[in-house]
Structure 1
Amino acid sequence: MPLRAVVITVSDRSAAGGREDAAGPLAVAALRDAGFDCPDAVVVPDGADSVASALRGAVADGARLVVTTGGTGLGPRDRTPEGTTAVIERSIPGIPEELRRRGTAETPGGMLSRGIAGVAGGTLVVNLPGSPKAVASGMPVIVSVARHVIDQLEGGDH
């Protein structure tokens, strides 16, 4: 049975219908291509509370992997890392370090992402920036380690 994954797009404009979500569908496609059971992306407004609520809902619904896109920058409402911190129990700093390294190799602005990664119960949670380019370069990183992380959360060997 395929593992369940969820993509949460964090964007005031997309949540209000003012802009089409371009990043979320890219993440969904990458997860489906990797064999995950992944519904279409959920879109929520910016802000720590909306992110935390969406993450808690995904974890409660049995998602083993949750990828967020958006809200990792420096804007006043970019609070995805804060919402994620409220939900995760343990951080995994190596994943966002690699995401920032790759992002910075593509554009200097990549180093400005404040995205984090961690574990909430048996679920891996990873924040990606909201640009389609960042999602396209970040998803291979996530897919490359996700199953191993989930296996370890289930007590598997290193």
Structure 2
Amino acid sequence: MSALPIRPSAHPPIRIGILTVSDLGAVGQRADTSGDAILDWASEHGYEVVVRSVVSDETDRIAGKLVRWSDSGEVDVVLTTGGTGLTERDVTPEATAAILERGAEGIAEAIRAASGPGFPRAWLSRGKAGTRGKTLIINLPGSTNGVKEGLAVLATFIEHAVDLVSGADTRHQTPDTASYV
């Protein structure tokens, strides 16, 4: 029998913040299709998007939103999209690293590993992941396809990750505790 995390059926929906990092998007010159993809994914999985914003590729703006949203307690997860590449303006990883309290490097590695074989440019992503307080923060690429591939990876463990970060009971189901569910 596989070990599954114990989640009460009345578990509240995961509260998500979507932060799109795009100079053109911040001034209304580019549609936020990657943010829309996150919104659609969250809805399909029964998660609640409680805040959403588009900011320019500026470290202080990105870090400021991440700190405000995380420290407010209104979100369980912040998903950023954009600003993870190699250009001078791509500063999302630096802004994220500056405010994280604990890294979760395996998450960013898993996202790159899922996309890399089919799209070698995915290896150029410098996205970060980690926690601030009880909030999980994850950088996704800026492309809609990159976001969708990253979300497919996150879907496999995000609920358990949120439980761990929040301090919820994460005992695993075994034959002896199967009735505990």
Q: Give the TM-score of the pair, scaled to structure 2.
A: 0.83
| AA partner of residue 170 (structure 2) | D
- In structure 2, the partner of 1:157 is 170
Q: Which residue of 2 aligns with 1:132?
A: 144
Segments of structure 1 that go 5 or more residues without pairing to the other structure are none
Q: Tell me which structure has the larger Cα radius of gyration.
A: 2
Of the candidates 59, 68, 72, which is equivalent to residue 48 of structure 1? 59
2:3 alignment partner in structure 1: none
Counterpart-to-counterpart distance in 1, 2:166 and 2:31: 37
**AA paired with 2:24?**
R
Contact kept in structure 2, 1:72 and 1:80, CA below 8 Å: yes
Give the stretch that moved more between structures: 123-132 or 97-106.
97-106
Answer yes or no: is the 8 Å Cα contact 1:31–1:143 preserved in 2: no
After TM superposition, the structure 1 = structure 2 runs for residues 1-158 of structure 1, keeping only pairs within 5 Å, are 1-39=12-50, 41-59=52-70, 60-155=72-167, 156-157=169-170
Identity of aligned residues (%): 38
- SS across alignment from 1:13: helix
Aligned residues: 158
Match of 2:4 in 1: none
Q: Contact 1:48–1:81 (CA<8 Å) still a contact in 2?
A: no
Aligned partners of 2:136 and 2:155: how far apart in 1?
A: 11
SS in 2 for 1:110: helix
Structure 2: gaps (5+ residues)? 1-11, 172-181
Query: C-alpha displacement at 1:137, in angstroms?
Result: 0.7
Counterpart secondary structure, 2:156:
helix
Amino acid at match of 1:25: D
Q: 2 CA distance for matches of 1:19 and 1:45?
A: 12
Taking structure 1 as the reference length, the TM-score comes to 0.94
- Cα shift at 1:40: 6.5
Give the C-alpha shift of residue 138 in structure 1. Answer: 0.7
Amino acid at match of 2:110: E
Deviations, residues 22-76 of structure 1 (Å, cap 9, x unaligned): 1001011111211111147310101211110111122115100110000000111
Aligned partner of 1:29: which letter? Answer: D
Q: 2: CA distance between counterparts of 1:133 and 1:39?
A: 23
Distance between the aligned counterparts of 2:128 and 2:76, measured in 1?
17
Contact 2:80 2:139 (8 Å CA) reproduced:
yes
Higher mean C-alpha deviation, range 54-63 or range 130-139: 54-63
TM superposition shift of 1:157:
2.7
